[in-house]
Every structure is written in structure tokens, then in C-alpha cells.
Amino acid sequence: MKKTVSLLIAAVMAVMMFTACGSSQSKTLTMGTNAAFPPYEFYDGDKIVGIDAEIAEELAKRLGYELEIVDMEFGSIITSVQTGKVDMGIAGMTVTEDRLQNVNFSDSYAGGVQVIIVKEDSDIASPDDLDGKLIGVQENTTGHIYCAEDYGEENVIAYTNGATAVQALVQGKVDCVIIDSQPAQSFVAGNEGLKILDTEYVAEDYAIAVSKENEDLLKEINKALAEMTADGTTQAILDKYITAE
């Protein structure tokens, strides 16, 4: 009898240990981003929040994952996805031919517009006035790429993030800054004497970068994104951070 009870106790303990181990091994989905791009990703205290953070949180929830956000230099995101350091890159990122050589992209979940920030007394009124001007950009972004192609790399100064580029404009180190419209609005609101030109520079679509070795995850993400679009979740997230003009 004692032997039977002992065996029963041992079996129960084994089941409990197995259950405990299983519950601690929840699947994690890691997101690489550059949290200096409001309202898509930025810090609220110690937490990274914004449109992309909430899109990723909803994706993880629907796919049965716990989300982990990793903040890094924008230029490191594609490499981190490619090498498996993170599962996906979400950072207000536009699909380009160069990026497609290294990673795959999901369907688009939001659109963006590149705009020009200048001082209020600037003589720059449109993209046509940028020849020979010093243009501040965030390094490795499409704004950086387009400006280098249109106006020459020698006229473009790349900074690690948009906030630093805008500070360079305030200090007179560059003549303008080209960046996405939503962070541009945040930067202008936080710095007196700046304005955004009415003429847009270029329109883009944002998508999620996924490793070419992870086709299954890409399919899962696209399926969840389609559901989020259909049920209004994505639009609700966008509306929370972007006020219609």
C-alpha cells in the first residue's frame, strides 16, 4: 500500500513539474524597432508604445505569442531580422528593392508621407528649392535614400534618429529635414519656429519585415493583418494616434 501511494505521489509531482515547465515556456514574438519615431514607436516612461507597438501586440495576441520589443538603431533592423536576432521588424518601414533582397515584407498595414520641415522664415517652399541645400534625414531610411538620389549624397546629412536631425535644423546646421509626416508633426509641435511645407515629398506604404527563412510566420502575419483590417482593429489603432485634419 505504501509503495502504491509513493508511486501515485511521484506521478502527481511529475505531472505538476511538467505543467509548470510547460507554462513557463510561452512562445515569444520579438519585434525590432527604433523607438524614436512618434507616433509609430516612442517611449512612454520605460515602455515602448505607439501604432507599431499596438499593431505588434495585437498580432502577437492573435497568433498566440507573447510580444517582446527590442529597441535598436534603424539601420540594424533588417540585419537583425535577416539573422534571426528578432522575428520581425516594425518601424514605419517602407518596402524597397534593396530591402527585399534581404528580407520579405508583409502586406501593408499603414501609409505614410515624407514631408519637409523648415524654419518659419526659410526661403524653401517646395522640393524644387532643395538643390544645393543641406538636408537632414534619419540614416538608412527611405528619406535618406531618396534625398541622396535626388540631391546628391554630399548635400545630405544623416542622423541616428529624427529628433537629432530636427535639433540640427533648429541649430542651423541643416536647411531642412525630410521625414515622415506623423513624426514631423510631433517634432514641429515640440520645437518653436519650425513648420511643415504643404507640398509632400513622396508617399509610401509601411509593412512588416520578416526573414526569408520564415515563410510560415509571414503567412500568419498576413492572415492576422487581413483580419485586423476587416474587423476595424487596425484603423482603430491608427485613429487613436493620428487625428484627422
Residue entry with cell 539573422: 83
Q: At residue 19, does pLDDT exceed 80?
A: no
Q: What is the pLDDT of residues 130-168, one digit of tens each?
A: 999 999 999 989 899 999 999 999 999 999 999 999 999
Residue 21: per-residue pLDDT: 42
- Distances in Å between the alpha carbon of 32 and those of 39, 75, 181, 207? 16, 11, 22, 13
For 88-136, write each residue's pLDDT tens digit. 999 999 999 999 999 999 999 998 899 999 999 999 999 999 999 999 9
Do 42 and 149 share a domain, yes or no? no
pLDDT at 17: 46
For 9, residues 6+ apart whose C-beta sits below 8 A from its C-beta are none
Q: Is the residue at 62 inside a domain?
A: yes
pLDDT for 242: 86
Is the pLDDT reported for residue 87 higher than 60? yes
Asked if residue 7 is part of any domain, the answer here is no
Task: Return the pLDDT at 244.
Answer: 52
Instruction: Tell me, yes or no, whether 221 and 233 share the same domain.
Output: yes
Residue 12 CB partners (closer than 8 Å, separation 6+): none
**Structural domains in the chain (count):** 2
Q: Choose among 186, 81, 96, 104: nearest CA to 141.
A: 96
Three-state DSSP state, 1: coil
Please check whether residue 179 lies inside any domain of the structure: yes
Per-residue pLDDT at 243: 72
Residue 24: CB atoms within 10 Å: 7
User: In this structure, are 103 and 213 located in the same domain?
Assistant: yes
**Grid cell in block for residue 169:** 535644423
* CATH number of the domain residue 62 falls in: 3.40.190.10
Range with lowest mean pLDDT among 23-27, 210-214, 237-241 = 23-27
- pLDDT band at residue 14 under the 50/70/90 scheme: very low
Task: Clarify whether residues 145 and 192 are in a common domain.
Answer: yes
Q: Are residues 56 and 173 in the same domain?
A: no
Structural domain containing residue 156: 112-203
Q: Taking the model in full, what pTM does it have?
A: 0.76
Mean model confidence pLDDT for the chain = 90
In a domain, 11, yes or no: no
Phi, psi of 135 (to 5 degrees): -110, 125
